Amino acid sequence: MNTWTKFGWQDASSPIMEQLTFFHDHAMTMIILITSSIMYLMSYMMINKFTNRNLLNQQNMEIIWTIIPMMILIILAIPSIHILYLTDEINNPVLTMKAIGHQWYWSYEYTNFKSIEFDSFMSNNTDKMNNFRLLDVDTRSVLPTSTQIRLLVSSTDVIHSWTIPSLGTKIDAVPGRLNQVSLFIKRPGVYFGQCSEICGANHSFMPIVVESVFMKFFLKWTNMN
């Protein structure tokens, strides 16, 4: 693998993650333009020693360097607020899954199916092919692709955080509270995440794995369970 690719985001697998990636690139472009402009002005003033005489007591210059940062903040704020409201939107979910955090594992309930409930522990079998150490679990949660899914998250003990970076999803699991977030997985695959809240001694040993499949395979899986 090219080492330069390790500095970027994971491939976006949901519309929300795509928007977050676009906003990151948008913000980085603005930062590069600002940094380049400031470096150019500083270099120009250092080379031309008497240029700064004309900048003293200039009201026009003060107006310019007040208005330009304000416009930059507006350019950054509009897409940021747009994405913020997108992440909070629940769009007529077809399926609801509930994730409950424990010290130190996750349990899942499919509220549309009465009999589907299971615990998900970190897998200790590192000899298995395609098994990622400290990231894989013994029982994966299975979800259909191209389907509006509502994820309900809670906890039984301390605050946990259900996070999958490639889906752009990070939501706190708070005891006595039920938080919700919308999921829409664009393509089949296996997506890995971890608890992103420092929840105790074994915080780093409660991974999250979502296996996304086509709807017909998901229905077969529900019948098997």
Average pLDDT taken over every residue of the chain: 85
Token pair belonging to 26: 């948008």
HSE of 225, CA atoms in CB hemisphere, 13 A: 19
Q: What is the CA 158 to chain-centroid distance, rounded?
A: 21
- Which residues neighbour 22 within 8 Å (Cβ) at sequence distance 6 or greater? 79
For the chain, domains (ranges, CATH) are: 15-48+57-88 (no CATH), 95-224 (2.60.40.420)
Give the model confidence (pLDDT) of 183-200 as tens digits.
999 999 999 999 988 888
pTM for the structure as a whole: 0.80
pLDDT computed for residue 1 by the predictor: 42
Structure confidence by residue, pLDDT tens digits, 66-92: 888 899 999 999 999 988 888 888 888
